[in-house]
Amino acid sequence: MRGSGNDYIYFDCFDQEIRNPEFLSVWLSSRRNSIGGDGIVLIEPSKVADAKMRMFNADGTESAVAGNPIRCVAKYLYDQGMVTSENVTIETGIGVKNLELFIRENKVYSVMVHMGTADFNPTAVPVTLGEEPVIHKAVTIGNKEYFITCLSMGNPHCVIFTEDVEYIPLEEVGPMLEHAPFFPERANISFASIEDRTTLRMRVWERGIGETMACGTGACAVAAAAVALGHCPDKQDITVKLRGGDLIIHCDENNITMTGDARKDFEGFIEI
């Protein structure tokens, strides 16, 4: 399944057990030798929500939450008849998320996720550049100066605003910033351009994956950073354009919502 072009391999773990998801993610995510994807997602039973999701990146590392995969998990639950309500709860590594489903011809085509709040506290990110929030702070990486804004959406994000994201050498710059010494747990790196007061364009280098077509938590981070810097207004819909499609982000002081598509490509069996 994919959300905004962000494709993962999903396992229904209500009736089966995946004992080594780290290895499985590395093996199956290879686009040359296996199914191919940005990682794998396990859909498991939960005692506190309709289901629980665990997400593993293509390098085998686990992430606490992911905005695009969680929409696809909700689609799977509804389309399979495992939930019947258009309001779904999914347990993640940072707590239970509430989702609202949009249905067309008895199938989910779009999902709104209540993502919670953006946390600019440097210990939450974490980022080790002092005790104050890192907002538009100059750092030098690879002999070039970048103005970074760091925040957590349950996972670490670094946002950099630039004139045109298409001219960024992301394959070169992304790894250097991801592994910068001031990110002890590495970080997701997003470059963003401002098209107008309510439209942003972004490219993302995801921690443990590389450049991806989209990143849901990254889009939330970019919108929250744009609001904090005064580029975009709060309490209004902000369209974030990614290579895999658009996401609609709505920021206020108590909650960030993200709305985007959820699509199923195929299903089947694989021998392990």
pLDDT in tens, 90-100: 999 999 999 99
In a domain, residue 124? The reply is no
Q: Classify 120 as helix, strand or coil.
A: coil
Which domain covers residue 181, as residue numbers? Answer: 137-252
From the CB of residue 100, how many other CB atoms can be counted at a distance below 10 Å? Answer: 16
Question: Looking at residue 272, what is its pLDDT?
Answer: 79
Which of 89, 76, 104, 101 has its CA nearest to residue 13?
76
In a domain, residue 31? The reply is yes
111 in the same domain as 62? yes
In a domain, residue 51? The reply is yes
In a domain, residue 128? The reply is no
Q: Domain boundary at 116, 147, 165, which?
A: 116
Pairing assessment for the beta strands 237-242 and 199-206 based on DSSP bridges: parallel
147 in the same domain as 86? no
Question: Looking at residue 37, what is its pLDDT?
Answer: 96
Tally of structural domains, the chain: 2
7 in the same domain as 81? yes
Q: Domain boundary at 62, 83, 116, which?
A: 116
In a domain, residue 71? The reply is yes
- For tokens 């994807």, the residue is 37
Which of 152, 10, 155 has its CA nearest to residue 71?
10
In a domain, residue 180? The reply is yes
In a domain, residue 260? The reply is no
Whole-Å CA distances, 231 to 25, 35, 139, 156, 197: 38, 40, 21, 21, 6
Over its length of 272 residues, how does the chain's per-residue pLDDT go in tens digits? 999 999 999 999 999 999 999 999 999 999 998 999 999 999 999 999 999 999 999 999 999 999 999 999 999 999 999 999 999 999 999 999 999 999 999 999 999 999 999 999 999 999 999 999 999 999 999 999 999 999 999 999 999 999 999 999 999 999 999 999 999 999 999 999 999 999 999 999 999 999 999 999 999 999 999 999 999 999 999 999 999 999 999 999 889 999 999 999 999 998 87
25: exposed, middle or buried (C-beta count within 10 Å: 0-12, 13-18, 19+)?
A: buried
Q: State the CATH number of the domain containing residue 18.
A: 3.10.310.10
**DSSP per position, 197-251:** TTEEEEEEEETTTEEES--HHHHHHHHHHHHHTTSS-SSSEEEEEETTEEEEEEE
Question: Looking at residue 243, what is its pLDDT?
Answer: 95
247 in the same domain as 143? yes
247 in the same domain as 180? yes
In a domain, residue 106? The reply is yes
165 in the same domain as 73? no
